[in-house]
Structure 1
Amino acid sequence: MLTVGDKFPSFDLKAVVSGDIKTGFTQLTDQSDAGKWKVFFFWPKDFTFVCPTEIVAFGAIEKAFNERDTVLVGGSIDTEFVHLAWRQSREDLGKLTFPWVADVKRELCQALGILDKNEGVALRATFIVDPQGIIRFASVNDLSVGRNPDEVLRVLDALQTDELCPCNWQQGEAVLKAA
């Protein structure tokens, strides 16, 4: 699996940004939103049980990511049409506006090293990528356990200070000074 300090892989994938079949599709690449921080989070499959809890939770704080000049991107190995159908089938998912990439060929997931060896689906992986395309945070959960989007936001805040931040540091608190 790629980790902190590695370059996030190049990609060019279809993505879904809404439940509208006429305007909901877009093309997303590693060059999209150049110069911004990015949070990529992957889930195993659409139409499952743990995944929507995470996706909705990320969506609930999308504005906070945007306020930090950070783009939120979700994704799985499902097609863009499955993503669209899932957004259309659930009101809470249909309200979300951040893109969901469709890594149907599993090329991005494979390049990241996040394909589950038994199931062939994306692991619950999260990456914070800086404006230069370097991974600054990487985390993976077991397929059965959802992640905490607030913790991802906390880590992003810490990374954006470019300072030493102690355990459980929160935005606005003092940072550590090297002696």
Structure 2
Amino acid sequence: MSIIGSSLKPFKAEAYKEGKFVTVTEADVAGKWAIFFFYPADFTFVCPTELEDLADNYAEFQKLGVEIYSVSTDTHFSHKAWHDSSPAIGKISYTMLGDPSGQITNNFGVMREGVGLADRGTFLVDPEGVIQFTEVTAEGIGRNATELLRKVKAAQYVAAHPGEVCPAKWEEGEKTLAPSLDLVGKI
């Protein structure tokens, strides 16, 4: 069953954000665009490169009204220790959700069965709490924040312009398509 078009499930988690421990629930996400960015574990190899890339681009996501929630099955305590000890992770000002129970990871369907770690999953949730985008990669394949920004812009464009769709490699300001009978077979 596809998770696209499904609603964000209820959750409650402790998180580390900007030097503080905070509690986050699905109610905190309501009414905003949000990215849930799952990764296997703190203190690893590919994960800090991805999280640093998001940190370096966080201001651009914020300009689009998008909040980022990184999620692993580590605790919020582990997130703080990692933040305090890693120059790459020390750049992060977005919310780092701890999910030791696996509730959120299971809600999104990215828990590695029998392992207790999340796959590399990226999910875009719209302000109504509906999942609009998902991407899951194998452990050794890192993600790209710039490409994620492009996809967020496309999702926001489509949401604001019913009846239009964004073609492959669409960039903000480029032509879109208006699906119709007249367009069938002409692309």
2:161 is matched with none
Is the contact made by 1:2 and 1:112 (CA closer than 8 Å) also made in structure 2? no
Matched, 1:106 2:107: no
Note the 1:1-179 alignment, pairs <5 A: 3-18=3-18, 20=19, 24-162=20-158, 163-179=164-180
> Greater relative contact order (Cα 8 A, min sep 6): structure 1 or 2?
1
Letter in 2 for 1:64: E
- Could you tell me how far 1:176 is from its partner in structure 2? 1.3
Extract unaligned runs of 5+ from structure 1. none
Q: What secondary structure sits across from 2:28 in the alignment?
A: coil
Letter in 2 for 1:14: E
User: Structure 1, residues 130-169: CA drift from partner, whole Å, max 9, x if none?
Assistant: 0000000011010111112212111110111123101000
CA RMSD of aligned residues (A): 1.3
User: Structure 1, residues 95-118: CA drift from partner, whole Å, max 9, x if none?
Assistant: 211001000100111121111125
Extract unaligned runs of 5+ from structure 2. 159-163, 181-187
In the aligned structure 2, how far is the partner of 1:87 from the partner of 1:103?
16
Q: Taking structure 1 as reference, are residues 33 and 6 closer, same or farther at Cα in structure 2, changes over 3 Å only? A: closer
In the aligned structure 1, how far is the partner of 2:61 from the partner of 2:151?
11
In the aligned structure 1, how far is the partner of 2:62 from the partner of 2:102?
27
User: Structure 1, residues 21-68: CA drift from partner, whole Å, max 9, x if none?
Assistant: xxx211111111431100110100000000000000011111111111
- TM-score (norm: length of structure 1): 0.93
Size of the alignment, in residue pairs? 175
In the aligned structure 1, how far is the partner of 2:68 from the partner of 2:104?
16
Is the contact made by 1:2 and 1:113 (CA closer than 8 Å) also made in structure 2? no
- Could you tell me how far 1:171 is from its partner in structure 2? 1.0
In the aligned structure 2, how far is the partner of 1:115 from the partner of 1:178?
37
Q: What secondary structure sits across from 2:88 in the alignment?
A: helix
Q: Compare 129-138 and 140-149 and name the one that shifted more.
A: 140-149
Q: What secondary structure sits across from 2:27 in the alignment?
A: coil
Q: What secondary structure sits across from 1:91 in the alignment?
A: coil
Is the contact made by 2:49 and 2:88 (CA closer than 8 Å) also made in structure 1? no
